């Protein structure tokens, strides 16, 4: 029997969700023995030409055109798409910029900060354009599973992945939805 394939991506976020995944300790070894991890920041793949995968996992809010394109590609190539952590589920702390026009955010961030000397706006054809607002994943593509938390605890991640690997769409029990 072939192992289910999993791909993960990391957008506007702190990497805490992937770190929480690594914090599964012995459970991580058990889960990884049952799957084939394809594209992932953990494996440092830079190519987002996704193979067909069973599970796609997104950490982070959608903040620029490249994030949007990658999310759309992943959705097309996965059977189940998981929004992993509050940034993917709700937009997270990154949405604090949503009330400010993006031109003002960029100007302040690159030209007007107190620590900036001779600031220059980063404009290059290879730099993805900032979206007007940071979006949660479900505002860009359909999402099948939500695992909230900042970051989700290793137990929530283990529960979600185990349920998926057993052929079920996870619904988190109430005791797993809380702030620590």
CATH code of 11's domain:
3.40.50.700
Q: How confident is the model at residue 179 (pLDDT cuts 50, 70, 90)?
A: low
Overall number of domains in the chain? 1
Both structure tokens of 10: 């990391």
Could you tell me where the DSSP H helices lie in the chain? 16-22, 26-34, 65-77, 86-90, 102-107, 154-165
Residue 155, pLDDT > 90, answer yes
118 assigned to some structural domain:
no
Q: How far is CA 66 from the centre of its chain?
A: 13
Pairing of strands 145-147, 62-64: unpaired
169 assigned to some structural domain:
yes
Contact by Cβ (8 Å): 156, 172:
yes
Q: How confident is the model at residue 48 (pLDDT cuts 50, 70, 90)?
A: confident
Q: What is the pLDDT of residues 94-147, one digit of tens each?
A: 999 999 999 999 999 899 988 888 888 888 888 999 999 999 999 999 999 999
110 assigned to some structural domain:
no
* Domain containing residue 154: 5-97+130-176
Q: What's the pLDDT score for residue 11?
A: 95
């Amino acid at each position: 029997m072939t192992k289910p394939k999993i791909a993960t991506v990391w957008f506007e976020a702190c990497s805490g969700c992937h770190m929480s995944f690594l914090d599964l300790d012995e459970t991580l070894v058990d889960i990884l023995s049952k799957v084939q991890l394809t594209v992932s920041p953990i494996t440092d793949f830079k190519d987002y030409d996704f193979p067909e995968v069973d599970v796609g996992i997104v950490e982070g809010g959608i903040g620029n055109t490249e994030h949007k394109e990658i999310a759309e590609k992943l959705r097309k190539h996965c059977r189940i798409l998981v929004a992993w952590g509050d940034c993917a589920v709700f937009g997270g702390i990154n949405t604090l910029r949503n009330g400010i026009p993006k031109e003002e955010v960029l100007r302040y961030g690159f030209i007007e900060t107190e620590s900036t000397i001779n600031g220059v706006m980063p404009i290059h054809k290879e730099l993805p354009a900032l979206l007007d607002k940071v979006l949660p994943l479900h505002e860009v593509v359909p999402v099948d599973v939500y695992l909230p938390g900042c970051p989700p605890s290793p137990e929530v991640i283990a529960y979600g992945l185990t349920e998926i690997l057993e052929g079920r769409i996870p619904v988190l029990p109430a005791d797993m939805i809380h702030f620590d």
